[in-house]
A and B are shown apart, each in its own frame.
Chain A
Amino acid sequence: GQNIDQPTEMTATEGAIVQINCTYQTSGFNGLFWYQQHAGEAPTFLSYNVLDGLEEKGRFSSFLSRSKGYSYLLLKELQMKDSASYLCATQGGYQKVTFGTGTKLQVIP
C-alpha cells in the first residue's frame, strides 16, 4: 500500500529558506513528485525525483533518499506568492500516483 506523511502547516519569513519534509511507504516505488497548490486551484508540477540526490530548479530544490523513504522540498528566497499548499506524491506499481495530505505554507513579511 501507500502511506505518505508531511507536516500539516508551516510558517516562514519572506526572504528566508524553508524545508518541507515528506516520508513515504510505497509499494513498487518508482518516483516522487512535488506539486504546488494555491487555494481553490489545481496543483501545478514542481519537481520529480527517481534517483537518490538533489534536483535543483531555480529557487526550488527537491531531495530523495530511497533507502530511507524520505524526501524534502527546499524553497529559497521565499516570496509572498509562495504561500500555498505543497503536495508530496509517490508513484507506485501500475503507475498509481498517491498524494500526501499536503503542507500549507504561510509566508509572512
Chain B
Amino acid sequence: DGGITQSPKYLFRKEGQNVTLSCEQNLNHDAMYWYRQDPGQGLRLIYYSQIVNDFQKGDIAEGYSVSREKKESFPLTVTSAQKNPTAFYLCASSDQTGGSQPQHFGDGTRLSIL
C-alpha cells in the first residue's frame, strides 16, 4: 500500500547530540513537509520541499536541517542548536499535479531529551 513511513516512532536525544528523523513516501508526491507539534498545540512548519534538491524554511527552521536528494525521502536533522527539541514531529507529502491537494501524514516521531 502507498503511504508515508516515519521512523523511529520514539527517539531520545542526549545533550549536544544531533539526531535524524526519517521520512519516506511511495506516493510519488513532489511536495514534502516537516511539522512540529507541542502538547495541546497546532502544527508548526519547520521545512518544506516542492521538488528534489530544493527546500524552503518554514516558520521555525532554526536548529533544524533537511535534505531532499531523492523524491521519496525527506530526512530531518535536529541539531544541538535546537535547545527545546522535545515534541511530536510529523512528516507529510502532497501531490502538486493539477493544483492543491491534501497532505498525507506519517504516524509521527516523538522526540525526547535524555
Q: Residues on A close to B: CB < 8 A?
A: 2, 30-31, 33, 41-45, 48, 50, 87, 89, 91, 94-102, 104
- Size bin of chain B's contact surface: 20 to 34
Shortest CB-to-CB span from A102 to chain B, Å, is: 5
Interface flag for B23 (CB, 8 Å): no
Q: Are A45 and B56 in contact (CB under 8 A)?
A: no
Q: Are B100 and A99 in contact (CB under 8 A)?
A: no
Which of A87, A95, A102, A104 meets B48, CB within 8 Å? A95
Q: Residues on B close to A: CB < 8 A?
A: 31, 33, 35, 40-45, 48, 50, 56, 58-59, 90, 92, 94, 96, 99-100, 102-108
Which of B42, B48, B102, B108 meets A96, CB within 8 Å? B48
**Given contact pairs A42-B105, A95-B96, A100 touches B58 in the complex (Cβ within 8 A):** no
Shortest CB-to-CB span from B36 to chain A, Å, is: 11
Q: What 9 pairs between A and B have smallest CB-CB spacing?
A: A101-B42, A42-B105, A45-B102, A99-B43, A102-B42, A31-B100, A99-B42, A91-B100, A30-B100
**Given contact pairs A87-B42, A101-B42, A95 touches B103 in the complex (Cβ within 8 A):** no
